[in-house]
Amino acid sequence: GDPYYGDHTAMIDNQGQVWTFGNNQFGQLGLRDMIERLIPTMIPNFKNIAQISCGGNHTAMIDDKGQVWTFGRNLYGQLGDSTQNFKLTPGLIPSMLSKDVMQVSCGSVFTAIIDNVGQIWTCGDNTDNQLGLNGQRNVLTPTLIPNFKKVAQISCGESHAAFLV
């Protein structure tokens, strides 16, 4: 796990706008800075978010077009953007643009994604084999877990993932 856990929360209102608050040490609130917020603060310019998930120090969300946006800490590649640079504002995962994503779930320092045909894609830390990718470490872009299709739901914990077929 990550020794730098940031306690943060993200919510979506009935307009699809995202509100975040809590620790912001790595920009995991998506508010262009690293200032802690004690009350919910809206991320500007996002009105069509369908789902959101908070990790240890990163956040991932899906818009109504099935695109994945990530922000916050990225030491292990958990933002899926092929870098290990943290982001203060939401950025798209380029490799997932054509996948029509249905669900995203963040673990402490990894991210799992289900596409529209029920395949699972994972990125980030794999120290405990939580990515399902046979011992690879620090996967910087979402990588397909082979032999799983028609997965309906996924949920990530600190360093594990469970899914429903």
Average pLDDT over residues 141-146: 96
pLDDT at 3 over 80: no
pLDDT at 23 over 50: yes
* Strands of 2-131, DSSP E: 8-12, 18-22, 37-42, 49-54, 58-63, 68-72, 87-92, 103-106, 110-114, 120-124
Number of other residues whose CB lies within 10 A of the CB of residue 11: 12
Whole-angstrom distance, CA of residue 116 vs CA of residue 102: 6
What is residue 1's predicted lDDT score, i.e. its pLDDT?
47
What is residue 4's predicted lDDT score, i.e. its pLDDT?
56
Q: How far is CA 73 from CA 23, 76, 137, 165, in A?
A: 12, 8, 17, 30
Average pLDDT over residues 139-165: 93
Tell me the backbone φ, ψ of residue 36, rounded to 5 degrees: -60, 145
Convert the pLDDT of each residue in 82-104 to its tens digit.
Answer: 999 999 999 999 999 999 999 99
Convert the pLDDT of each residue in 25-68 to its tens digit.
Answer: 999 999 999 999 999 999 999 999 999 999 999 999 999 999 99
